[in-house]
């Protein structure tokens, strides 16, 4: 059996245009295109359907990774890599092998394998052939099991398994990493030596990563994507221990698409120094048992609140069909998303706040936005989406997996999902307030509220632990401290009492949010007039953990916000003993 002539012609013409348009032949893309055309035409087990859709994703990167501790280099290496994932769908757009959690339903959908680093056409074809063959066989088996499962259950809503999409041609240049490794090693030593000035800090490290590569995406519908992927990242971590044994931590996280976007080495050092100084200050800070009242989320903290409370909650998900269980619609299995499912046309913000996602926007007032991208992981260009209008939820971030009320994608497939699907995630989340006050007036309003309520003080939060640098032990404590129906919330790292009498600020440590959720967003009573840009990488895990191996670069642009009533409680975690012997570096100086 042969593939339709028109589709074969399209694949062939695309391959021919690649060499003509790029100036030099792209061997990787030619191998992907040729093997896909052959697979679409020839893949078929006797008596069974051939694929109706195939796509192949190849990721290539050249990565420098380095780390230093207390002025000494701990790691410095450069690692090239190339991997592939093949996705095969059998059946049709209405019913196929994906979105099925039973008996290997996820196999054949981006099982990732390494590829040779050299651009050898025949070697690449061999690997793609083996992967596609394996994916097809797994897809056929999964579809049979899915059909059997569907005979025993009744779905409340019947939806297609895949949305049609017009093909995209987006052929950018391949990216190459140009980096002076010796220079970066010296920077790491210098930046990590900052902690030699802070005897209250127990442990610290500084890490840097520079990665440049290319993402290729080809599918049987005619999509052809070659997109450069470049990221520079600097992270600094530090932990300390108060006299009562409480452990506290903080971090610096700087990411950019170009090296210059990180700032000068002196600027990076200054940011690390500021973090170390703040953490040392909090070692001596007091604690607080409980607090329930007005809270000002200032600068970065406001962006972190919107990122955590909205973020992936703006993505609709479908519960996969499962063997021996009811299928249907709802949050992704095992995920924390889906909190806004079924709440379309509900008010979730004040009527004077709008939220839009515009991943096509490359910068904000001259500052590059990390969340900008050309095409998503399904080869779809991102569209501007008005998510919340006048405080009312109007729309969602979508992939090609149809959900109730939405059939097509708006280009936000950005994270690996389960059962052969992708998860939607924001690109550039833009929070716009039409009623604003000068930034300095927000603190005055907080003080006025405290006086009116006869409060001694209010609270300002300037930083949350999002993305989180918390230890595994800290995360266990966060989850165990939540109620059964509560969604865990990131720890506030930089919290300050603001006294109503004179506006004096005083740091307070060890607080945790209690019952803090998306419902609190309706309690925003004022917003600043200066939007702040908060960049992070969404790793797909709770709190967007920094240690994730894959992520979606995201930007949030949001003003500082004042909330009417937020509840916090002091930490009740067990506290380890202080070190028996003093730090050797600082002990020798006495």
Structure confidence by residue, pLDDT tens digits, 195-234 = 999 999 999 999 999 999 999 999 999 999 999 999 999 9
- The two tokens of residue 366 are 């001259």
Question: Which of 120, 302, 78 has the alpha carbon at shortest distance from 210?
Answer: 78
Is pLDDT at 509 greater than 70 in this prediction?
Answer: yes
Please report the pLDDT score of residue 586 as a whole number. Answer: 85
% residues pLDDT > 90 (the chain): 73
The residue behind tokens 């796509």 is 55
Q: Which band of pLDDT confidence, cut at 50, 70 and 90, is reported for residue 589?
A: low
Beta-sheet strands, E only, within 257-403: 290-297, 353-357, 363-364, 367-368, 385-389, 392-393
- The secondary structure of residue 26, as a DSSP letter, is -
Question: CA geometry: angle at 260 spanning 254 and 263, to 5°?
Answer: 50
Please report the pLDDT score of residue 201 as a whole number. Answer: 96
Question: Which of 371, 388, 370, 360 has the alpha carbon at shortest distance from 427?
Answer: 371
Please report the pLDDT score of residue 164 as a whole number. Answer: 95
Q: Which band of pLDDT confidence, cut at 50, 70 and 90, is reported for residue 7?
A: very low
Please report the pLDDT score of residue 476 as a whole number. Answer: 67
The better pLDDT of the pair 311, 433 is held by 433
Q: Which band of pLDDT confidence, cut at 50, 70 and 90, is reported for residue 326?
A: very low
% residues pLDDT > 70 (the chain): 88
Is pLDDT at 391 greater than 60 in this prediction?
Answer: yes
The sheet with strand 385-389 has its strands ordered as 392-393, 385-389, 353-357, 428-433, 552-558, 532-538
Q: How far apart (Å, rounded) are the C-alpha atoms in residues 392 and 370?
A: 27
> 211-214, long-range: CB within 8 Å, 24+ apart, which pairs?
211/61, 211/62, 211/63, 211/64, 211/177, 212/61, 212/62, 212/175, 212/176, 212/177, 212/178, 213/59, 213/60, 213/61, 213/62, 213/63, 213/175, 213/177, 214/28, 214/59, 214/60, 214/174, 214/175
The better pLDDT of the pair 361, 316 is held by 361
Handedness of CA 118, 123, 125, 131 (dihedral sign): negative
- The secondary structure of residue 128, as a DSSP letter, is H
Question: CA geometry: angle at 239 spanning 233 and 243, to 5°?
Answer: 165
CB 18 within 8 A of CB 25: yes
Structure confidence by residue, pLDDT tens digits, 554-587 = 999 999 999 999 999 998 777 888 888 888 888 8
Mutual angle of helices 5-22 and 27-42, in 10-degree steps: 180
Is pLDDT at 264 greater than 60 in this prediction?
Answer: yes
Please report the pLDDT score of residue 75 as a whole number. Answer: 97
Q: Which of 299-303, 348-352, 373-377, 475-479 has the lowest mean pLDDT?
A: 475-479
Full set of structural domains in the chain with CATH: 1-284 (3.30.2290.10), 290-301+437-530+541-570 (no CATH)
Average pLDDT over residues 519-541: 93
Is pLDDT at 405 greater than 80 in this prediction?
Answer: yes
The better pLDDT of the pair 338, 180 is held by 180
Is pLDDT at 107 greater than 90 in this prediction?
Answer: no
Structure confidence by residue, pLDDT tens digits, 128-164 = 999 999 999 999 999 999 999 999 888 888 899 999 9
pTM of the model: 0.89
Please report the pLDDT score of residue 558 as a whole number. Answer: 98
Beta-sheet strands, E only, within 161-281: 169-171, 201-219, 224-241, 247-256
Please report the pLDDT score of residue 579 as a whole number. Answer: 87
Q: Which band of pLDDT confidence, cut at 50, 70 and 90, is reported for residue 336?
A: very low
């Amino acid at each position: 059996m042969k593939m339709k002539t028109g589709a074969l012609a399209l694949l062939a013409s695309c391959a021919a245009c690649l060499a003509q348009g790029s100036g030099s032949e792209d061997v990787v893309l030619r191998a992907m295109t040729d093997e896909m055309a052959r697979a679409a035409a020839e893949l078929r087990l006797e008596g069974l359907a051939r694929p109706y859709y195939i796509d192949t994703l190849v990721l290539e990167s050249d990565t420098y990774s380095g780390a230093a501790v207390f002025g000494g280099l701990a790691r410095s290496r450069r690692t090239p890599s190339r991997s592939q994932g093949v996705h095969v769908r059998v059946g049709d757009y209405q019913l196929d092998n994906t979105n099925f959690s039973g008996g290997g339903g996820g196999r054949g959908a981006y099982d990732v394998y390494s590829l040779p680093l050299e651009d050898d056409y025949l070697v690449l074809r061999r690997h793609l052939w083996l992967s596609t063959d394996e994916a097809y066989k797994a897809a056929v088996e999964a579809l049979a099991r899915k059909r059997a499962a569907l005979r025993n259950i009744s779905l409340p809503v019947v939806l297609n398994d895949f949305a049609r999409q017009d093909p995209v041609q987006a052929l950018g240049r391949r990216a190459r990493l140009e980096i002076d490794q010796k220079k970066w090693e010296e920077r790491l030593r210098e930046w990590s030596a900052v902690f030699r000035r802070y005897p209250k800090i127990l442990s610290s490290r500084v890490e840097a990563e520079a990665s440049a590569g290319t993402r290729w995406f080809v599918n049987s519908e005619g999509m052809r994507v070659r997109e450069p992927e470049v990221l520079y990242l600097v992270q600094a971590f530090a932990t300390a221990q108060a006299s009562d044994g409480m452990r506290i931590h903080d971090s610096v996280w700087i990411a950019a698409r170009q090296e210059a976007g990180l700032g000068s080495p002196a600027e990076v050092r200054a940011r690390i120094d500021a973090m170390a100084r703040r953490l040392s200050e909090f070692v001596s800070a007091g604690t607080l048992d409980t607090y329930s009242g007005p809270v000002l989320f200032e600068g970065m903290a406001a962006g972190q609140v919107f990122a955590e409370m909205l973020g992936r909650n703006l993505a609709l998900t479908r519960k996969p069909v499962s063997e021996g269980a009811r299928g249907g619609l709802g949050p992704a299995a095992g995920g924390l998303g889906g909190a806004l499912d079924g709440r379309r046309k509900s008010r979730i913000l004040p009527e004077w706040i709008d939220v839009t996602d515009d991943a096509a926007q490359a910068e904000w007032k001259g500052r590059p936005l990390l969340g900008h991208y050309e095409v998503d992981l399904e080869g779809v260009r991102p569209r501007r989406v008005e998510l919340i209008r006048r405080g009312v939820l109007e729309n969602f971030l979508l992939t090609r997996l149809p959900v109730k009320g939405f059939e097509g994608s708006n280009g936000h497939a950005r994270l690996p999902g389960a059962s052969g699907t992708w998860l939607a995630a924001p690109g550039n989340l833009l929070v716009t307030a039409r009623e604003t006050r000068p930034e300095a007036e927000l603190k005055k309003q907080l003080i006025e509220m405290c006086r009116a309520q006869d409060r001694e003080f209010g609270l300002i939060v300037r930083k949350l632990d999002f993305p989180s640098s918390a230890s595994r032990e800290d995360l266990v404590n966060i989850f165990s401290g939540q109620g059964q129906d509560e969604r865990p919330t990131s720890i506030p790292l930089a919290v300050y009492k603001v006294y109503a009498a004179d506006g004096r600020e005083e740091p307070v440590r060890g607080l945790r949010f209690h019952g803090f959720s998306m419902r609190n967003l309706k309690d925003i009573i004022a917003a600043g007039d200066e939007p702040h840009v908060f960049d992070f990488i969404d790793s797909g895990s709770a709190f967007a953990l920094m240690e994730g191996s894959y992520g979606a670069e995201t930007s949030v642009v949001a003003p500082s916000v004042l909330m009417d009533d937020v509840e916090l409680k002091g930490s009740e975690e067990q506290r380890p003993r202080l070190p028996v012997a003093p730090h050797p570096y600082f002990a020798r100086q006495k």
